[in-house]
C-alpha cells in the first residue's frame, strides 16, 4: 500500500502563533508567502491570518484590528456589544463587524464587515479598541432597532450595568439629547427623537424596559420604577414597576426565577410579604411579552380591580 506523505507546515515564529497578524507583517518577518495559505491558518479577514479561528466578538475585533486603517472605528452593533449593551438575540449573534469612517472617507469593504460612512461620531478607546462612544452608538442603533428596543438600550445607558452594586451609568439624559442633535440622521432620526422621550433611568434589565415601554405606549399611565416599599417587618423591597396609589406592582421573572430553587423560594416569600401590606404583585415572563395585546388587557383588568378595591377613581389610572 502506498503511504501518502503529509507535509507538516513550517512552524510560525512564536509571536505569530499567539495572536492575529497581517500578511505584510508575516512577510516582513521572513515567513514564506506560500506558508500563509496553509490549511492550519484561519483567514478571518482579507490580509489577516491567525493560528486559531476567532471564537467571539473580541477575537474578531482583534483580528480586524490588524488591517484597520487609522480613520476606521468599530460602531453600531459592534460598539454596542463591546460596551456590554444588551441587544435582541439576532444582533447579539451577528458575526459581521460594523466598522465606520467619517465622511468623506470611504466605508471599508471586506468579507465579514458591514461598512458605514457617517457624518459625525465621537470616537473613544474602550478596552483597547477605537469605538463610537455610548451616545453615538445609541444614535446609530436608531436606524437598526424598533422603538422599544432602542428605548431599552437608552435605559441601560442611563441606569448603568449594575446600579445596585454601584457600577455607574454610561450617560446622563442630556448626553443623549445632545447626541440626537449632533449625530442622529437619516432613517433613524425620527425613531431616536421618539425614543428620547421614553428613555428613563431605573430599569435593571432589558425585559423590564420592554414591559414599561409596552405599557406606556399602550396608554397606561407612567409607572414608578424600582420604588422602595416598606414591608411589615420594616424592610424595603422594590417592585420593578409600580403604581403606589393602588398598591399594584409588576415584576419581570426570567428563567433564573424558575431554575434556581433558592430564588424561587425567595420570590414566594417576597410576594407574600407584599400581600401582607395589601400590595398585589403581577408576575410577567418573556412568554407574556410575546403576546402584548393579551398582556396589556390583563394589566388593565388588574388595575381596574385594584381601583375598585381601594376606592380609587379608575379614570386616574387610564390615559
What per-residue confidence (pLDDT) applies to 195?
96
Q: What is the mean pLDDT of each run of 10 residues along the chain (319 residues)?
A: 61 90 95 93 96 96 97 98 96 96 93 94 95 96 96 96 75 92 78 95 94 97 95 94 96 70 81 94 95 97 95 75
What per-residue confidence (pLDDT) applies to 162?
77
Chain position carrying cell 458605514: 116
Instruction: Domain of residue 157: give its range.
Output: 68-198
What per-residue confidence (pLDDT) applies to 188?
86
**Domain end residue (candidates: 198, 219, 236):** 198
What per-residue confidence (pLDDT) applies to 167?
74
Specify if 5 maps to a domain: no
Q: Are residues 80 and 190 in the same domain?
A: yes
What per-residue confidence (pLDDT) applies to 182?
81
Specify if 77 maps to a domain: yes
Torsion of CA 259, 288, 313, 315, to 10 degrees: 150
Q: Are residues 146 and 107 in the same domain?
A: yes
Q: Are residues 25 and 99 in the same domain?
A: no
Q: Are residues 108 and 220 in the same domain?
A: no
Specify if 1 maps to a domain: no
Q: Are residues 126 and 106 in the same domain?
A: yes
Task: Single out the residue of 46, 108, 50, 41 nearest to residue 74, CA to CA.
Answer: 108
Strand order in the sheet with 280-284: 224-225, 241-243, 248-252, 280-284
What per-residue confidence (pLDDT) applies to 164?
64
What are 131-142's pLDDT values in tens digits?
A: 999 999 999 999
Q: What nine digits make up the cell of 14? A: 512564536
- Whether the pTM exceeds 0.95: the reply is no
**Domain end residue (candidates: 172, 198, 224):** 198
Name the 3-class secondary structure at 301.
helix
Specify if 62 maps to a domain: no
Helices 292-310/206-217 angle, 10° precision: 70
Q: Are residues 166 and 72 in the same domain?
A: yes
What per-residue confidence (pLDDT) applies to 72?
98
Specify if 297 maps to a domain: yes
Q: Are residues 219 and 264 in the same domain?
A: yes
What are 4-50's pLDDT values in tens digits?
A: 555 667 888 888 999 999 999 999 999 999 999 999 999 999 999 99
- H helix intervals, 98-188: 134-141, 147-159, 173-183
CB 123 within 8 A of CB 132: yes
Q: Are residues 217 and 176 in the same domain?
A: no
CATH classification at residue 270: 3.40.960
Specify if 253 maps to a domain: yes
CB 196 within 8 A of CB 151: no
What per-residue confidence (pLDDT) applies to 270?
87
CB 256 within 8 A of CB 205: no
Q: Are residues 164 and 284 in the same domain?
A: no
Within 8 A by CB and 6+ apart from 58, the residues are: 82
**Domain end residue (candidates: 198, 233, 251):** 198
Q: Are residues 182 and 82 in the same domain?
A: yes
What is residue 205's DSSP assignment? Answer: S
Q: Are residues 188 and 210 in the same domain?
A: no
Which helix (H) or strand (E) is 212 found in, with range? helix 206-217
Q: Are residues 168 and 74 in the same domain?
A: yes
User: Structural domain tally of the chain?
Assistant: 3
Specify if 25 maps to a domain: yes
Specify if 8 maps to a domain: no
Amino acid at each position: 500500500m502506498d503511504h501518502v506523505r503529509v507535509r507538516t507546515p513550517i512552524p510560525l515564529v512564536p509571536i505569530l502563533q499567539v495572536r492575529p497578524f497581517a500578511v505584510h507583517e508575516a512577510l516582513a518577518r521572513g515567513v514564506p508567502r506560500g506558508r500563509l495559505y496553509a490549511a492550519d491558518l484561519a483567514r478571518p479577514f482579507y490580509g489577516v491570518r491567525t493560528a486559531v479561528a476567532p471564537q467571539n466578538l473580541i477575537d474578531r475585533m482583534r483580528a480586524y484590528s490588524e488591517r484597520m486603517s487609522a480613520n476606521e472605528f468599530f460602531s453600531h452593533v459592534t460598539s454596542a456589544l463591546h460596551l456590554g449593551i444588551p441587544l435582541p438575540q439576532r444582533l447579539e449573534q451577528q458575526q459581521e463587524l460594523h466598522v465606520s469612517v467619517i465622511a468623506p472617507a470611504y466605508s471599508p469593504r471586506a468579507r465579514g464587515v458591514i461598512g458605514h460612512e457617517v457624518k459625525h461620531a465621537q470616537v473613544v478607546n474602550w478596552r483597547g479598541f477605537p469605538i463610537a462612544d455610548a451616545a453615538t452608538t445609541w444614535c446609530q442603533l436608531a436606524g437598526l432597532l424598533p422603538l422599544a428596543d432602542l428605548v431599552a438600550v437608552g435605559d441601560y445607558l442611563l441606569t448603568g450595568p449594575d446600579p445596585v452594586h454601584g457600577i455607574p451609568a454610561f450617560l446622563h439624559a442630556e448626553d443623549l439629547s445632545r447626541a440626537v442633535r449632533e449625530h442622529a440622521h437619516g432613517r433613524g432620526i425620527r425613531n431616536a427623537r421618539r425614543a428620547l422621550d421614553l428613555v428613563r433611568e431605573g430599569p435593571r434589565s432589558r425585559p423590564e424596559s420592554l414591559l414599561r415601554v409596552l405599557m406606556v405606549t399602550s396608554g397606561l399611565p407612567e409607572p414608578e420604577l424600582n420604588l422602595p416599599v416598606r414591608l411589615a417587618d420594616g424592610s424595603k423591597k422594590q417592585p420593578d414597576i409600580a403604581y403606589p396609589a393602588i398598591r399594584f406592582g409588576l415584576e419581570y421573572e426570567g428563567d433564573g426565577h424558575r431554575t434556581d430553587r433558592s430564588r424561587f423560594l425567595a420570590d414566594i416569600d417576597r410576594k407574600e410579604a407584599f400581600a401582607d401590606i395589601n400590595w398585589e404583585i403581577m408576575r410577567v415572563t418573556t412568554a407574556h411579552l410575546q403576546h402584548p395585546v393579551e398582556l396589556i388587557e390583563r394589566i388593565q383588568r388588574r388595575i381596574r380591580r385594584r381601583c375598585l378595591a381601594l376606592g380609587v377613581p379608575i379614570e386616574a389610572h387610564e390615559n
